[in-house]
Structures are given as structure tokens and as C-alpha cells.
Amino acid sequence: FFTQLGPVTPTCIQANHTSAVGQMEAVNFTIIPTTMATGCHVQGSSVSASWFSLFDNGTNYCNLRNIMKGSGLTKAPGFVEFTNEWLCLGCVITACK
């Protein structure tokens, strides 16, 4: 797997990811401050460049999930994941590694 970090600002992280099978995805995180002094809302997206990625076992969901899990943020107090099949096609059939 290869990830190329793109522009990074205090409120946005952009990267391009190439999977083991050569699929390319644009991965973006937007950080939105909340009224809580120690919290924020993070909105993420991963979009494949190819139409056939509909049959990739949820690669886009796994891109986002693996970054959040690997960073330790899934264990942070107050962490809540909100997604569903309408927001993230394939998230219910993922095979994240």
C-alpha cells in the first residue's frame, strides 16, 4: 500500500492512497471545532478513481477506519462512528485488514 500526503492545514488533511491491487483513492479528513474545548468533529471521505471499486469489499470504508484505528482515535473518550450503507456503500460487507 502507498499513501501520498497532500495538502495539510489545521482543518483539512488530504492524501492519495494506492491499494495493493493498484486502485487509487482520494482520502480527505475535515476537522471542525466544537463548542467543547477538548473536542472536534472529524468528517472523512475516501473516493475511488474507478467505477469497478464498487466490488472491492469496502476499500474506501477500510481506508478511513484503518486510519482512525491506527491513530488510536477510536479509543478516545467520546469517539462515535456514524455511517451507514447510504453514506458509505459497502461498509456493511467490509473485509478490513
Residue 52: φ, ψ to 5°? -75, -5
Which 3 state secondary structure label does DSSP give 79? coil
Q: Average per-residue pLDDT in the chain?
A: 80
* Residues paired with 56 in a beta bridge: none
Return the closest-CA partner of residue 81 out of 61, 95, 97, 96.
61
Return the closest-CA partner of residue 30 out of 14, 49, 15.
14
Q: Which three cell numbers stand for residue 34?
A: 466544537
pLDDT tens figures, 43-89: 888 888 776 655 666 777 887 888 888 888 889 888 888 888 887 77
Which 3 state secondary structure label does DSSP give 91? helix
Cell numbers 478511513 label which residue? 64
Q: In the prediction, which pLDDT does 78 show?
A: 83
pTM equals 0.71
Mean pLDDT, residues 29-55 taken together: 78
Q: In the prediction, which pLDDT does 53 show?
A: 57
Q: Where are the domains of the chain?
A: 2-75
